[in-house]
Amino acid sequence: MHGFYAGLERIFELIAIHVDGFRPAGENWHQTLLIRMATEQPSVRPAVISESLHEQLNEYRGFRHVVRNVYSFEFESAKIQKMVVQLPSVYNQVRNELEAFTVFLEQRA
């Protein structure tokens, strides 16, 4: 799950840099980046992901943060189990929404 979100965050960083023209900075840049991806940037691009996907991915962002910054004894096993079960569905939704965003990029090119 850590690798899934880390890879997705890298895609979002590339979109922020190459499409939006900048990558969020500061202490909470990970949260800001995810919020930006769920927000239309007028005259630049539509939202990359839906609000519902943003909410789901925010849980994976939080998990990534815990893995990198907190000891494993602080994991909530019930929450992790739920995220593991949902991962295939979330992955499919991510794939579909990113494919739709690529259509926008191709039309813009």
Structural domain boundaries in the chain: 2-108
Average pLDDT over residues 6-35: 96
Longest pairwise C-alpha distance within the chain: 48
Residue with tokens 């499409």: 19
Residue with tokens 């519902």: 52
pLDDT reading at 5 higher than 70: yes
CB-based contact 31:5 (threshold 8 Å): no
Residue ranges of alpha helices (H) inside the chain are: 2-15, 29-37, 51-69, 77-108
Give the pLDDT confidence score for residue 74 in this predicted structure: 67
Q: What is the pLDDT of residues 21-79, one digit of tens each?
A: 999 999 999 999 999 999 999 999 999 999 999 999 999 998 887 777 666 666 778 88
